[in-house]
Structure 1
Amino acid sequence: MTLLKSPPIYTPQSPTRPAKRTVGRSYQAIIAMTLITTIMGGGIGTRLATLQLVEGKQNVQEANRNRIRVIPKQPERGKILDRKGRILASSRLSHSVYVWPLAQRKTTWPRTLRRLSQLLNIPEAEIQNRMERAGYSSPYLLRVAWGLSREQVTALEEYSSELDGIVIDVETVRHYPNGKVASHVLGYTGEMNDEDLERRKDRGYRLGDVIGQMGAEAAFESQLRGEWGGQQVEVDGLGQVVQFLGTVPAKAGQDVRLTIDLEIQKAAEAALGDAQGAIVAIDPNNGAVLAMVSRPAFDPNIFSTRITEKTWAELQSADNPFVNRALQGFAPASTFKIVTTAAALESGKYSPYTVLGTFPYLTVGGIQFWDWNRAGFGPLDFAGAMAWSSDTFFYQIALGVGGPTLIEWTRKFGFGQKTGIELAGEEASGLVADETWKNLELGEDWYAGDSVNMSIGQGYLQASPLQVAVMFAVPANGGYRVKPHLLKDNEEAKNWRESLDLEPVTVDILQRGLRQVVTNGTGGAMNDPTLPPNAGKTGTAEDPPRLSHAWYGGYAPYDKPEIIVVAFGENSGGGGGAFAAPKVKQVLDAYFKMKNRQG
């Protein structure tokens, strides 16, 4: 490169004056130079002494930092196990290809990257972009593809003479031996995007790192991740590698044991089949999640190879398979009559011995609110109204207790807030509307008809299948709201639940009503002698103009519950008793058969 010289600087001179005395000027200059040299020499000597004697150790360390670098090696991710130690997610070996920016100068990389692009069928611009983001002086290996086929590895080896700085290595990638089973619980892993990197770079994450993207993989990332290792290398002043100095082994991540039971999970998967919806099974005593299924599902193994934008778009378009419907809000329908009953009895406005007439419909605010059978059921008490799911019975209850009381108890049962499960980023809070919400959102007051709709789980009310399971736990365990969780531990049940302080008579009426649903009500499909005595509740939620949602939640054994199962069919039609109850029965049947085998 040629440098242009600056033009000479012109400085105006003062007018000519008589010459001054110059005798002794040469001696003054010599003396001044001697003093300056002495002072400078002393300063340099002092600085050298400081560098060698005082800061010597620090400077050696700094020089080593500039000379010695580490090429990182990603650790093997910890396994995810079910409650009995069976593998749900592990790792397998796979070939990956890396670019080592230090291996070439920036000017010589384009030809190599062009050849690599051709061999891997990856857009050259994509590889180039990754190089520029990492920096051409980066000492780190930069992964550009993983899950290579045997043919790709062979092709890279054949053209190795043209691929200076391209490294093929064997690393571990995630493997899910059961395919789609529990995919929404487990989630998947994938490379960080720019936003992920910005949030995590202060925790040691680097461009190209693989992290948990959803489910347990994301929730337990810190345990599963492990600690990086790598190779120490010496580099020269140009950043070129001179020699390898040694290897620091990576430390594998911790294994994580979930509360999921693989056998029950598979039974729930089979029960739901291809129907769009969800099934949740929990322990009513401590909230441990035994199974969680959502449809449509996906195979997390697809993320163990490179996913193109086109493939990702195709996956997303198939009715949102990555949405965990077990954690999304829907109208809970008549399952919600559990809350309405508790609100009535605990408010003191209705006695446990209340009997009300039921009718084809009630007129409230000039609107006819019909019973589901369009005829009514005659006089009913609380248990009978639960058994037959009489709408007009619960309409009257709602009008008697009023909207604020019903809303208060709805929230006490856990609706309108996240349950506390570790998948918080994927969980919806649901909706429990009140007058303030209605004023803000719709510009309307709260009407009596809103309370009527709410009493049967319709209107401005949404709950997830998991929240509905938490609701069923209250009568099942004697009055406690549980906190659902996925991480298995040995804590006592009391640490996972809190009392709602229900009166014993309230719990008794709820239990008897839910039992009568099975013995002589809308849940007759569950009245099977091959199952232990059980209790439950049907629900059918209108969703016009689409088909209705179908619900059934149940628990068994009735006298000492061990498991709650909630089945939900999204726009399935058919009603809770016909569509959802048989699916719950299938899961309970698998659970008790497994229990009997194990003694």
Structure 2
Amino acid sequence: MAEKKFESDAKRNERLYVLYYIFGAMFIILLGALAYRQIFMYGYYHKKGMLQTQRRIIQPGARGDIYDRNGRLIVGNRPVFDAVVYFNDARFDFRKEYARLNKLRKQNKEPFDYSKLAIAARTNVLQSYIDEINSILKTDFVLDADFNRHFSGRQLMPLPLVKNLSISQHAILAEKLRVDNSAVQIYTDTYRYYPYADRAAHAVGYIRPEIEQVDPDIPGDDLRTFSFLGKIGKSGVEKAFEDRLAGETGAEIWVVDHNGFTFEKIESKPPRKGGSMQVSLDMELQGAIEDAFPNRKGAAVALDVKTGEILAMVSRPSYDPNTFFPTMTHAIYNDIRDRGAWLNRATQGLYPPGSTFKIITALAGIKSGVIGPDTVSYCDGYYQVGSRKFPCHNRYGHGEVNLQQAIEKSCNVFFYEHGQKMGIDSIAKTAKEMGLDSPTGIELHEESTRLTIVPTPEFKRKQGSGWSKGDTANVSIGQGDLRQTPLQMACFAASLARGETRTKPSILHDTTRKTDMKYHGAKKLDIPKSGYDAVIEGMVNAVERGTCRRAAIDGVKIAAKSGTAQVMVKGRKLTLAWMIAFAPVENPEIAAAVIVEGEEPGDASGGATAGPIMREMFAEYFKGRQVAQ
């Protein structure tokens, strides 16, 4: 019997081996799976855990300051104080209020709705914070109804309860909140500050708040990211030099709990302020021109003859970029739009240049041999081209005039006659050589030179019509289809002052800049010296006893040319008052162009309207200086 029992146990044990093998294989598979997940898939689960438990907060750096050529601050940053609450700091108050409301619900036997209770709890707590602020400041601020969207989408960011506190409110609130150990905090941000308000607004430009773009050097590309509002340049210097002025973005990476509240900061890269820069504007000169400017639309540009640096850039009407903060309201935007103040008329305004263009016609005539210092015309008040009479601005005529007198008196007939003799090709070629059909090269993005027009027969053909001698007559005195910007005409005045063909303007002040003909992309004027001297003499005479007398100042020899162009606006013929000038003639330093738009027929003329602005410009520039004659 014993032997049989042994044999039975042995057989039974042999059958158990199969189970042992199965369990062993399963154990090995389990170990392999665990090893695979723990070792080979460690990176995957680690990354997944990070995505669930970490958040990234982007912090834009402050923008750099902008100074004028003399070191005056023209754009900076001012601190702005907001009363804010971080949801993380209010968690205890939220829970306490939630428990109270839930207890009331149970007492009233109301149905349970977690979302409704949570929102009500947050509303009550945040309202209590607002009440606390109002009690301290004796104000009546109200809770922003949008706070729940902030909670769900920007939970780690501070919720503004009261924006843009005054200095006194900030001081009072900061002291009281510190004593009461409140969850409300004072958050300090910066807004752009323009101490000269609307002066040079178009040249300087403005910024707008935008969600800060993530810097590729900041870690955490896969993390859920929150960002404070950054500032980005939208026009003028602010836009043109965005890369230089923009601050360096910073970031923080936080571990959060299962509710999304901050728990621990594990990485931080502080933001840095952007680079400061010095522009070429002279704010004293800018102010003198703007103060002299009538309450009309128009523009003025003054630049350094040798370097091309912009000394002043005026566009009227203007706007105050300080009013764009904390937000640009629809009312402010619409007001600027309705006044036509968004347009930088100095660089974007396209106008027929009127009689200032006669200098181009004179240069073209001298170059072609049609006009010389002793060339004369007889003006009896009009010039006939075919069956049409083209008038002179002096209906009784100027009598016999030479080149200098024609410029001094702005005689149309002289330029009609000789414009016909040389033809449109000569005039257009000279205008293009002087850069009136191409971009000036200024750094500002707001420039309409691609739309400027130097009309030719080919241009007219593209418009669907042919060229006539009447077209040549109009162009010869700066009318017809000609369209130029004040900046281009100021550059032309500077080029003429140097006896060269081009001037490259710049809004940057750079004392190390090497400026020569190569820099400007210029060539020497290809005309005899006697012809050039005759043109300049005519412009000097225009200031001393001709159409530009109102631009004269004591002790400085100025060369100028006025112009009065006609444009049709809503069926009315309005005038544009122009003047270009440079000084001192012996060694030119400053060149300028001024234009004022008329509002009623005949209410503006070059000498009478633009002349006084030019005079104040030169008076400010040469103030306190002795200029050799």
| TM-score (norm: length of structure 2) | 0.77
Instruction: Name the CA shift for 1:51/1:299 in 2 (closer, same or farther; >3 Å).
Output: same
- Tell me how far 1:501 sits from its aligned partner: 3.7
Q: Distance in 2 between matches of 1:404 and 1:122?
A: 70
SS at structure 2 position matched to 1:280: strand
Q: Distance in 1 between matches of 2:144 and 2:624?
A: 52
Q: Distance in 2 between matches of 1:262 and 1:510?
A: 32
Identify the residue that residue 416 of structure 1 maps to in structure 2: 437
Q: Distance in 1 between matches of 2:148 and 2:36?
A: 50
- Tell me how far 1:458 sits from its aligned partner: 0.9
Q: Distance in 2 between matches of 1:109 and 1:343?
A: 78
* AA aligned opposite 1:552: M
Aligned partner of 2:595 among 560, 568, 593? 568
- Tell me how far 1:548 sits from its aligned partner: 1.1
Aligned partner of 2:546 among 516, 521, 526? 521
- Tell me how far 1:276 sits from its aligned partner: 2.6
Q: Distance in 1 between matches of 2:623 and 2:266?
A: 59
Q: Which sits farther off after the overlay, 38-47 or 74-83? A: 38-47
* AA aligned opposite 1:508: D
- Tell me how far 1:532 sits from its aligned partner: 1.1
Aligned partner of 1:558 among 570, 585, 606? 585
> Are the aligned partners of 2:376 and 2:403 in contact in 1 as well (CA < 8 Å)?
yes
Instruction: Name the CA shift for 1:219/1:354 in 2 (closer, same or farther; >3 Å).
Output: same
Q: Distance in 2 between matches of 1:352 and 1:109?
A: 87
Q: Distance in 2 between matches of 1:213 and 1:255?
A: 18
> Are the aligned partners of 1:555 and 1:565 in contact in 2 as well (CA < 8 Å)?
yes
> Are the aligned partners of 1:286 and 1:496 in contact in 2 as well (CA < 8 Å)?
no
- Tell me how far 1:509 sits from its aligned partner: 3.3
Instruction: Name the CA shift for 1:333/1:245 in 2 (closer, same or farther; >3 Å).
Output: same
- Residue 190 of structure 2 is aligned to residue 169 of structure 1: no
Instruction: Name the CA shift for 1:87/1:460 in 2 (closer, same or farther; >3 Å).
Output: same
Task: Please show how residues 308-327 of structure 1 align to structure 2 within 5 Å.
Answer: 308-317=329-338, 319-327=339-347
Identify the residue that residue 10 of structure 1 maps to in structure 2: none
Q: Which runs of 5+ in 1 are unaligned?
A: 1-23
* AA aligned opposite 2:344: N
- Tell me how far 1:291 sits from its aligned partner: 0.8
- Residue 375 of structure 2 is aligned to residue 358 of structure 1: no
- Root mean square deviation, CA, Å: 3.8
Q: Which sits farther off after the overlay, 139-148 or 397-406? A: 139-148
> Are the aligned partners of 1:74 and 1:228 in contact in 2 as well (CA < 8 Å)?
yes
Q: Distance in 1 between matches of 2:384 and 2:143?
A: 66
> Are the aligned partners of 2:64 and 2:275 in contact in 1 as well (CA < 8 Å)?
yes
Task: Please show how residues 334-483 of structure 1 align to structure 2 within 5 Å.
Answer: 334-351=355-372, 353-425=374-446, 427=448, 429-441=451-463, 443-483=464-504
SS at structure 2 position matched to 1:90: strand
Q: Distance in 2 between matches of 1:36 and 1:592?
A: 97
Q: Distance in 1 between matches of 2:278 and 2:393?
A: 45
Task: Please show how residues 205-354 of structure 1 align to structure 2 within 5 Å.
Answer: 208-245=229-266, 248-317=269-338, 319-327=339-347, 328-351=349-372, 353-354=374-375
Q: Distance in 2 between matches of 1:207 and 1:49?
A: 38
- Tell me how far 1:145 sits from its aligned partner: 7.5
Instruction: Name the CA shift for 1:97/1:186 in 2 (closer, same or farther; >3 Å).
Output: farther
- Tell me how far 1:290 sits from its aligned partner: 0.5
- Residue 525 of structure 2 is aligned to residue 502 of structure 1: yes
- Tell me how far 1:407 sits from its aligned partner: 2.1
> Are the aligned partners of 1:226 and 1:252 in contact in 2 as well (CA < 8 Å)?
yes
* AA aligned opposite 1:322: W
Identify the residue that residue 547 of structure 1 maps to in structure 2: 574
Identify the residue that residue 3 of structure 1 maps to in structure 2: none
- Tell me how far 1:267 sits from its aligned partner: 1.2
Q: Distance in 2 between matches of 1:259 and 1:581?
A: 24
Q: Distance in 1 between matches of 2:466 and 2:227?
A: 53
* AA aligned opposite 2:279: L
Q: Which sits farther off after the overlay, 59-68 or 238-247? A: 59-68
> Are the aligned partners of 2:551 and 2:613 in contact in 1 as well (CA < 8 Å)?
no
- Tell me how far 1:531 sits from its aligned partner: 3.2
> Are the aligned partners of 1:142 and 1:208 in contact in 2 as well (CA < 8 Å)?
no
Aligned partner of 2:165 among 148, 156, 181? 148
- Tell me how far 1:306 sits from its aligned partner: 2.7
- Residue 198 of structure 2 is aligned to residue 180 of structure 1: yes
Q: Which runs of 5+ in 2 are unaligned?
A: 1-13, 95-114, 132-139, 219-225
SS at structure 2 position matched to 1:593: coil
- Residue 64 of structure 2 is aligned to residue 74 of structure 1: no
Instruction: Name the CA shift for 1:372/1:254 in 2 (closer, same or farther; >3 Å).
Output: same
> Are the aligned partners of 1:147 and 1:304 in contact in 2 as well (CA < 8 Å)?
no
Instruction: Name the CA shift for 1:483/1:123 in 2 (closer, same or farther; >3 Å).
Output: farther
SS at structure 2 position matched to 1:580: helix
Q: Distance in 1 between matches of 2:420 and 2:17?
A: 114
- Residue 563 of structure 2 is aligned to residue 533 of structure 1: no
Instruction: Name the CA shift for 1:257/1:433 in 2 (closer, same or farther; >3 Å).
Output: same
Instruction: Name the CA shift for 1:314/1:98 in 2 (closer, same or farther; >3 Å).
Output: farther
SS at structure 2 position matched to 1:209: strand
- Tell me how far 1:480 sits from its aligned partner: 3.7
- Tell me how far 1:373 sits from its aligned partner: 0.5
- Tell me how far 1:254 sits from its aligned partner: 0.9
- Tell me how far 1:151 sits from its aligned partner: 8.9
- Tell me how far 1:482 sits from its aligned partner: 0.8
Q: Distance in 2 between matches of 1:426 and 1:503?
A: 28
Aligned partner of 1:136 among 153, 160, 163? 153
Q: Distance in 1 between matches of 2:198 and 2:462?
A: 42
Aligned partner of 1:45 among 12, 29, 35? 35
Instruction: Name the CA shift for 1:157/1:231 in 2 (closer, same or farther; >3 Å).
Output: farther
- Tell me how far 1:50 sits from its aligned partner: 3.3
Instruction: Name the CA shift for 1:542/1:380 in 2 (closer, same or farther; >3 Å).
Output: same
Q: Which sits farther off after the overlay, 172-181 or 470-479? A: 172-181
Instruction: Name the CA shift for 1:499/1:314 in 2 (closer, same or farther; >3 Å).
Output: closer
Q: Distance in 2 between matches of 1:109 and 1:190?
A: 32
Instruction: Name the CA shift for 1:543/1:120 in 2 (closer, same or farther; >3 Å).
Output: farther
Q: Distance in 2 between matches of 1:97 and 1:457?
A: 60
CA deviations over 1:192-222 (Å, ceiling 9, x no partner)? 38xxx8xx66779957322222221222222
Instruction: Name the CA shift for 1:90/1:453 in 2 (closer, same or farther; >3 Å).
Output: same
Q: Distance in 2 between matches of 1:312 and 1:99?
A: 31
Instruction: Name the CA shift for 1:255/1:151 in 2 (closer, same or farther; >3 Å).
Output: closer
* AA aligned opposite 2:606: G
Larger radius of gyration: 2
SS at structure 2 position matched to 1:169: strand
* AA aligned opposite 2:194: Y
Instruction: Name the CA shift for 1:430/1:558 in 2 (closer, same or farther; >3 Å).
Output: same
Identify the residue that residue 134 of structure 2 maps to in structure 1: none
- Tell me how far 1:152 sits from its aligned partner: 7.9
Same amino acid, percent of matched pairs: 30
SS at structure 1 position matched to 2:153: coil
Instruction: Name the CA shift for 1:301/1:517 in 2 (closer, same or farther; >3 Å).
Output: same
SS at structure 1 position matched to 2:379: coil
Aligned partner of 2:619 among 571, 589, 594? 589
